[in-house]
Chain A
Amino acid sequence: MSLQVSELRVHYRTLRGDVRALDGMSFELGDGEILGLVGESGCGKSTLGKSLIRMDGRMRHVGGRVVLDGRELPIADDRAMNDFRFKEVSLIPQYAMSALNPTRKIRRMVGELLRSRGAALDAAELERRMDQVGLPREVLDRYPIELSGGMKQRMVMVISTLLDPSLLIADEVTSALDVSTQKAVARALLGFRDSGYVKSMIFVTHDIALTHHIADTIMVMYAGRLAEKAPADALVKAPRHPYTRLLVDSLPEVGVRYAERRLEGIAGSPPSLLDPPPGCRFRARCPLAGDECAEEPPVAEVAPGHHVACWKA
């Protein structure tokens, strides 16, 4: 097991009280596994991604453990966590387009960053990896503003994985890209895993269709908790949790004319995480909800590797 997260609780401090963005998340990630993390806005997926590398000032680690390669990550201790960042856990941020210092040439910036982490710049290796994602080498002698959005994105991908981290968190990396670039980025991420630059990966997104192409396992989150986690095919083709089913049903299908049948969405919105209702958090929007749903459903393994948190599954 590469990554083990158990009962992780991370809250946001606000003036009106704690927002429970992560409320007891447990999951495991194997070596070489790519985990697609899916859910609607505010379900806690970005919070999970951030918790594993760098919590921002408003986040507070309330409970739970994160173990990476047998070592516990000190996620609440910003300073101690520095030893793990970049080397063990790395991040491709959501804002990859603006992640590079605009007033430094890329070669110099990368060199300075590596030196500050006590690593030397291996120019040959850097260029080899750039070739792999289709970046011309001249890019290194340019300023970030001279690159297109897609180039910046790929540059950040190369930089983030330069120290061969064990875990890579790719946070909404494809959200701002057009479809053809999305495909290139997805393929590059797969290439990183296959070349052994990263051992395992968490691919945070809200695009189930794209995740299906690159992820081995897909995990669906709802309101700060795990809803369903299953091998990618099983989750898309035979979802067990009603939320996953509605999520998959709301995807458009190729070849279907939606003039006859309107595309279904999911009615309602997720509950406030400031003071979440007891029991199953999807209850208010769930078509199958019954009396037992007033009690919190445990995460059960319904098939090998297929975990669902639902009484009706």
Chain B
Amino acid sequence: MRRYFGRKLLIYGLTFFVAVTVNWMIPRFMPGDPVASMVARANVTKPEAVEAMRAYYNNLFGLDQPLLTQYANFWGALLRGDFGTSIWLFPTPVSQVIGGAVPYTLALVVPSVLLSWVVGNQFGAYAARRKLLDNTVLPVGYVLTAMPYMWLAVLLAWALGVIAGLFPVAGGYSFSMRPNLSWTFFLDLLHHWTLPFLSLFLVALGGWAIGMRNMIIYELESDYSTYLSALGAPARLIRRYAFRNAVLPQITGLALQLGVLVAGALVTEIVFAYPGLGSLILKAIQNKDFFLLQGAFLFIVLGVLIANFIIDIVYVVVDPRTRAGMAGAQA
């Protein structure tokens, strides 16, 4: 057991290292010079002043040092929890900017991923034994799961927001409000949250339901199900076993899909101008804000890795076969 988790941790550590390195590289090798754009924003015309500002910023962000030193410094700062200073929102620290966006992203991603997984599994299992449902609702699932997140987001915004006028189509809360701890503000948050949540939830739901339906049908035709029915066990017991066993590949699927789901969430945030990490990344790219971009990516990578690790642990708990594999089977 310890060896298994040791190996897992090593793999996650390596992934983290590679992700951080790539993360450091991308903005630096991206076309465009952020310092030049900052200087240009300052509207200074005197060449000496421009030169002085350039030197100041380069020194401030550490861009005047050799690449390798920059890389080493980056790791050092990272381990101290220092993500640097945002260029776009100079001089706010990146950690603070990200800290303001993360709650919105988490509030969107966590419920949509978990709920779509749970509801999709239940629904798929139910559809597997109802011919009518299987033939009518499941095709809708295929359409949903094949739909790009942002396309459904645009459709929902148009239909429920613009045409029906039921939900706002942009922002995390009304422009007329300031964040505070009150029921009115909370309801306003919920109101703005609904459409982005729905577009994420619906797309993922279709995929889980289809996967579960196929797995359940497979399990119900497996040998242990046939044996139980031959011994006259009630369908309830057989279905319970089948569901339990069919959930296992769905857990693996969740681990595999997590990255895709997060990416989808980022795009959806942009469609709805939702103030989460997705919108932040877009702003960071538009403003050539290396540090903000790095910080946001790093946060996402870390989040996905942690979630995957949790799923790994859950899998070990629910599937005895992985445990037996670790301990070595005894005959």
For the residues of B in contact with A, the DSSP-based class is helix
Nearest CB on A from B329, distance (A) = 5
Q: B330 contacts the other chain (Cβ, under 8 Å)? A: yes
Contact with B along A86-100 (1 / 0, CB 8 A): 110011010100111
Of the candidates A98, A103, A116, A146, the one whose C-beta lies within 8 Å of that of B233 is A116
Chain A residues with CB below 8 A from B48, complex form: none
Complex: chain A residue closest to B236, CB-CB: A116
**In the complex, per-residue mask of B311-331: 1 if CB is within 8 Å of any chain A CB, else 0:** 000000011110010000111
CB distance A91 to B223 under 8 Å?
A: no
For residue B318, which residues in chain A have a CB less than 8 angstroms away from its CB?
103
- Is B158's CB within 8 Å of the partner chain A? no
Taking CB atoms, residues of chain B closer than 8 Å to A102 are 224, 245, 320-321
Q: How far is the CA of A155 from the CA of B324 in the complex (A)?
A: 19
Is A302 in the interface zone, CB < 8 Å from B?
A: no
Check if B234 is an interface residue, CB within 8 A of chain A: yes
From residue 140 to 179 of chain A, which have CB atoms closer than 8 A to chain B? 143, 145-148, 151, 156, 159-160
A79 to B229, CA, bound (A): 11
Inter-chain contacts of A101 with B (CB < 8 A): 224, 228, 241, 245
Check: A2 CB closer than 8 A to any chain B CB.
no
Find chain A residues with CB under 8 A from B227 CB. Answer: 91, 93, 95, 99-100, 156
**B contact residues, range:** 20 to 34
Complex partner residue of B230 from A54, A103, A116, A146, CB under 8 angstroms? A54
CA distance A103 to B226 in the complex (A): 16
- Minimum CB–CB distance from A201 to chain B (whole Å) comes to 16
Q: Are B229 and A54 in contact (CB under 8 A)?
A: yes
A145 contacts across to B, CB distance below 8 A: 320-321, 324, 329
- The residues in A between 85 and 138 inclusive whose CB is less than 8 angstroms from any CB of B are 85-87, 90-91, 93, 95, 98-105, 112-113, 116-117
Judge if A182 is at the interface, Cβ distance under 8 Å. no
Which of B224, B232, B329 is within 8 Å of A146, CB to CB? B329
**Shortest Cβ distance from B318 into chain A, in angstroms?**
8
Complex: chain B residue closest to A93, CB-CB: B227
A residues near B222, Cβ cutoff 8 Å: 98
The CA-CA distance from A95 to B221 in the complex, in Å, is 13
Choice from A54, A100, A147 contacting B224 with Cβ under 8 Å = A100
Q: Determine whether the beta carbon of A117 is less than 8 Å from that of B230.
A: no
Q: How far is the CA of A112 from the CA of B245 in the complex (A)?
A: 16
Main secondary structure of the interface of A (DSSP, over half): loop
Please, which residues of chain B bring their CB within 8 A of the CB of A26?
none
- With a cutoff of 8 Å between Cβ atoms, the chain A residues found around residue B230 in the complex are 53-54, 85, 91, 93
Q: Report if B129 contacts A (CB, 8 A).
A: no
Tell whether A85 pairs with B320 under 8 Å between CB atoms, given A99-B224, A101-B241: no
Measured CA separation A177–B28 after assembly (Å): 65
**A104 contacts B241, C-beta separation under 8 Å:** yes
Chain A contact residue count (CB 8 A cutoff): 34
Q: Which of B227, B231, B232, B329 has the most CB of A within 10 A?
A: B231
- Of chain B, the residue at the smallest CB distance from A112 is B237
Least CB distance from B219 to A in Å reads 10
With contacts A93-B226, A112-B237 taken as known, whether A160 is within 8 angstroms of B324 at the C-beta atoms is no
CB distance from B81 to the nearest CB of A (A): 42
Check if A6 is an interface residue, CB within 8 A of chain B.
no
Q: What 1/0 mask marks residues of chain A from 35 to 56 whose CB sits below 8 Å from any chain B CB?
A: 0000000000000000001100
Q: Is the CB of B224 within 8 A of A113?
A: no
Q: Is the CB of A146 within 8 A of B228?
A: no
The answer to whether A82 has its CB under 8 Å from any CB of chain B is: yes
Q: B8 near A: Cβ within 8 Å?
A: no
Query: Once the chains bind, are B223 and A117 in contact (CB under 8 Å)?
Result: no
Q: Which of A82, A95, A112, A113 contacts B223 (CB 8 A)?
A: A95
Question: Which residue among A81, A91, A99, A112 has the maximum number of chain B CB atoms within 10 Å of its CB?
Answer: A99
| In the complex, B7 has a CB within 8 A of chain A | no
B245-A147 in contact (CB<8A):
no
Verify B245–A143 contact, CB threshold 8 A: no
Contact A103 B231 (CB under 8 A): no
Give A126 Cβ to nearest chain B Cβ, in Å. Answer: 15
From A160, which residue of chain B is reached at the shortest CB distance? B231
Q: How far is the CA of A163 from the CA of B198 in the complex (A)?
A: 52
Interface positions of A from 6 to 38, Cβ below 8 Å from B: none
C-alpha spacing A124/B222, complex, angstroms: 31
Chain B residues numbered 223-264 whose CB sits less than 8 Å from any CB in chain A:
223-224, 226-234, 236-237, 241, 244-245, 248
Cα-based distance from A156 to B229 in the complex (angstroms): 14
Let me know if B331 and A117 touch, CB within 8 A: no
**Chain B neighbourhood of A116, CB < 8 A:** 233-234, 236-237
| Chain A interface residues toward B at CB < 8 A | 53-54, 81-87, 90-91, 93, 95, 98-105, 112-113, 116-117, 143, 145-148, 151, 156, 159-160
B interface list, Cβ under 8 A from A? 222-224, 226-234, 236-237, 241, 244-245, 248, 318-321, 324, 329-331
Instruction: A99-B227, A103-B245 given; name 18 further pairs at CB < 8 Å.
Output: A54-B230, A82-B232, A85-B230, A85-B231, A90-B231, A100-B224, A101-B241, A103-B244, A103-B321, A105-B320, A113-B231, A116-B233, A116-B237, A117-B231, A145-B320, A146-B330, A159-B231, A160-B231
| Interchain residue pairs with CB less than 8 A apart (28) | A53-B230, A82-B232, A85-B232, A86-B231, A87-B232, A91-B227, A91-B231, A93-B223, A93-B227, A93-B230, A99-B223, A99-B227, A100-B227, A101-B245, A102-B321, A103-B241, A103-B244, A103-B318, A105-B320, A112-B237, A113-B233, A116-B234, A117-B231, A143-B320, A143-B324, A145-B324, A156-B227, A159-B231
